[in-house]
Amino acid sequence: MVELSELLSVSGATIRKDLTGLELDGRLVRTHGGAVASRASGVRAHDRSELAFEVRERLLVVEKAAIGRAAADLVRDGDSIALDASTTALHVARHLRMRRELMVITNGIRIAAELAGLPGITVLMPGGVLRWEAFSLIGEWGEPMLRRIHIETAILGAVGFTLDEGLTDVNAGEAQFKQLLVEGARGVVAVIDHSKWNRVAFTSFCPTERLKLVITDSRAPAEMVEAVRDRGIEVRVLEVGSGR
């Protein structure tokens, strides 16, 4: 990092911002003190599915934190909610710590750890196979449990969102779990930053018409935001600074 700053005659802050932008585009992966090319690290520039949770967690942090806070404000004491294993859902969880008599269903290990031991919150996790990419549990073991419970609100991230395909994910197992949450929830809230709009991933898990609310940031495409609203779906656009 210091060498790059000296070589290019720019500040360390500028270097960090540019590296984060290149990481978001899938062109490199940041490491301690620097970065490596995505090809050398096993990450393909055109395939963001290869980005591990710890990498995605560092991307668009400002936007995700604001979206997470806004989504958490919707949750009331006594609710039963579902969170997926996305990095944005982790920000939602971080703002739920003071809730009481709250039931949280999640397959996200990081989210469960964030809420573990809090006196007012019960965390329910389905069984399954551990995915290191998302620190999540997926598989058919949790389906019988999810078929029996009632969820007030499912708060879900996504890899992509379009009007025609709805919310999409790169992993079929993650999508299957999210689809069960969508089917069992009274309302579905999408928590997606601007980079997810007009992007289609491998498989759909929630049609656009099933959404009650979309929470995003001010860099989301205005034309598509209005198209979603025209379908009777609320879109909450947050004015936040860039996290790149």
CATH label of the domain that carries residue 97: 3.40.50.1360
pTM of the model: 0.79
- Spatial distance between the Cα atoms of 121 and 93, rounded to a whole number of angstroms: 11
Helix (H) or strand (E) holding 110: helix 109-115
- Spatial distance between the Cα atoms of 82 and 184, rounded to a whole number of angstroms: 10
Same domain, 226 and 141: yes
Same domain, 73 and 26: no
Q: Under DSSP, is residue 36 helix (H, G, I), strand (E, B) or coil?
A: strand
pLDDT, residue 35, reads 60
Nearest CA to 160 out of 185, 193, 138, 136 is that of 193
Domain that holds residue 226: 61-238
Same domain, 150 and 65: yes
pLDDT, residue 148, reads 87
- Spatial distance between the Cα atoms of 232 and 19, rounded to a whole number of angstroms: 39
Helix (H) or strand (E) holding 146: helix 143-148
Same domain, 111 and 6: no
189 Cβ neighbours under 8 A, 6+ residues apart: 71, 74, 153, 154, 155, 156, 211, 212, 213, 214, 215
Q: Pairing mode, if any, of strands 234-238 and 129-131?
A: unpaired
pLDDT, residue 239, reads 95
Same domain, 28 and 138: no
Same domain, 69 and 7: no
pLDDT, residue 57, reads 84
- Spatial distance between the Cα atoms of 71 and 191, rounded to a whole number of angstroms: 7
Same domain, 101 and 212: yes
Phi (first) and psi of residue 57, to 5 degrees: -65, -25
- From first to last of its 244 residues, what are the pLDDT tens digits of the chain? 566 566 666 677 776 666 666 655 656 555 545 565 544 333 333 344 447 777 888 889 999 999 999 999 999 999 999 999 999 999 999 999 999 999 999 999 999 999 999 999 999 998 889 988 889 999 887 888 888 889 999 999 999 999 999 999 999 999 999 999 999 999 999 999 999 999 999 999 999 999 999 999 999 999 999 999 999 999 999 998 654 4
> Is residue 52 situated within a structural domain?
no
> Is residue 27 situated within a structural domain?
yes
> Is residue 199 situated within a structural domain?
yes
236 Cβ neighbours under 8 A, 6+ residues apart: 70, 213, 214, 215, 216
Domain count, the chain: 2
pLDDT, residue 10, reads 65
> Is residue 243 situated within a structural domain?
no
pLDDT, residue 165, reads 97
Same domain, 68 and 11: no
